[in-house]
Amino acid sequence: MARVTGRLQVVATPIGNLADLSERAREALAAADVIAAEDTRHTGALLKAMGLATPLVSLHEHNESRRVPGLLARLAQGERVALVSDAGTPLLSDPGYELVRAAVAAGFEVSAIPGPSAITAAFAVLGPEREAVVARELTKAHETIYRGTLRELAARAATEANFARGEITLVVRGAPAVASGTDERLLRRAVELLAKELSPGRAAAIAAQLVGSSRAEAYKLLPRTAANEFDAAPTDEQDTP
C-alpha cells in the first residue's frame, strides 16, 4: 500500500512545439515542489515560456544514482516531484528509471502524465503499408481487435467512434530483413524527421532503435548543421539544490 506522503509524477513534455504541452502537464509542473530534469537549462527555458519558476534539480545518466536518495527524502517529507526529460516521454530513452524504481520500492505513489513521444511521432517513417494490429480493451467486455495496414487503420480510426475508446495496445509488424544490413534510406529518413524535433544525439539514438542500426551509423546521417550544433553543445553542469 502506498504511503500517504509525496508523489512522483512522470511528465511528458513537447518534442518541439510548445503548444503540445497538455493542460494536465502544465498543472503538474506548476504544482511540483521540485522538477527533476535531464537538462535544467532546457527545462528552465520551457518553464520560463510557461511563466513558471518551479525549482529544478538535474537528473541525468551521470548523476542519477547520487540524486535518488535526496529525491526520495523529499518524497518522504510529502513533496511532489515531477520527472521530465529534454523532450517527449521520460524513461523511453532517457534517465529516470532508477528514480522511478526506487520510489515504487519505497512505497511512494508514482503516476504518469502522458503526452508527446518521439517514437510515436516517428511512425510516419514506417510507411502507410506496414501491417499493424490495434487491440482495444484487452481481456475486457468490449475487447476489439483491428487488423490492417497503417493506412487502413488510420482511416478506420477517423470514422469509427469506438476505435480510440478505452485502453489501446498497438503492435506494428517488423521491417522485412535486408540482406545487406541496415536500410540506409529508411534510417536517413528517420534521422531527418527526428532531427527536426529533437537534439541531434537523441534523434540518432531513437532512429537507430527504430531501424535496428547502431547509433554511430545513424549519427553519420544527421544533417550537417544539426551535427555541428551537437558537437558544440556544452555539457550540463548546472545543478539546483
Mean pLDDT of the chain: 82
208 pLDDT above the threshold of 80: yes
Locate the domains of the chain by residue range.
7-116, 117-125+174-234, 131-172
Position 47 confidence tier, pLDDT thresholds 50, 70, 90: very high
49 burial type by CB count under 10 A (0-12 exposed, 13-18 middle, 19+ buried) = exposed
Tens of pLDDT, residue by residue over 86-127, are 887 787 556 788 999 999 999 999 988 887 766 666 667 677
- Residue 240: CB atoms within 10 A of its CB come to 12
**Strands 56-58 and 34-37: what pairing?**
parallel
Tens of pLDDT, residue by residue over 165-174, are 888 888 888 7
- For residue 116, give the C-alpha cell: 508527446
CA distances from 241 to 74, 144, 208 (A): 12, 49, 35
SS3 192: helix
Alpha carbon of residue 115 to chain centroid = 8
Give yes or no for a contact between 190 and 219, defined as CB atoms under 8 angstroms apart.
no
Q: What is the mean pLDDT of residues 196-225?
A: 82
pLDDT at residue 150, as a whole number? 87
pLDDT at residue 188, as a whole number? 86
pLDDT at residue 68, as a whole number? 95
Transcribe 80-106 into DSSP letters.
Answer: EEEEE-SSBSTTSSSS-HHHHHHHHHT
Give yes or no for a contact between 198 and 116, defined as CB atoms under 8 angstroms apart.
no
pTM across the whole model: 0.56
Q: Distance (Å, rounded) from C-alpha 152 to C-alpha 36?
A: 41
198 pLDDT above the threshold of 90: no
Query: How big is the CA angle at 160 (ends 157 and 162), to the nearest 5 degrees?
Result: 95
pLDDT at residue 1, as a whole number? 42
58 pLDDT above the threshold of 60: yes
Greater confidence (120 vs 46) lies with 46
pLDDT at residue 121, as a whole number? 64
pLDDT at residue 168, as a whole number? 84
158 pLDDT above the threshold of 90: no
Instruction: State whether CATH 3.40.1010.10 applies to domain 7-116.
Output: yes
pLDDT at residue 212, as a whole number? 79
- For residue 43, give the C-alpha cell: 527545462
Give yes or no for a contact between 8 and 108, defined as CB atoms under 8 angstroms apart.
yes
Alpha carbon of residue 182 to chain centroid = 24
Contacts of 149 (CB under 8 A, 6+ apart): 128, 129, 130, 131, 132
Q: Distance (Å, rounded) from C-alpha 72 to C-alpha 108?
A: 9
Q: What is the mean pLDDT of residues 181-192?
A: 79
Tens of pLDDT, residue by residue over 24-41, are 999 999 999 999 999 999
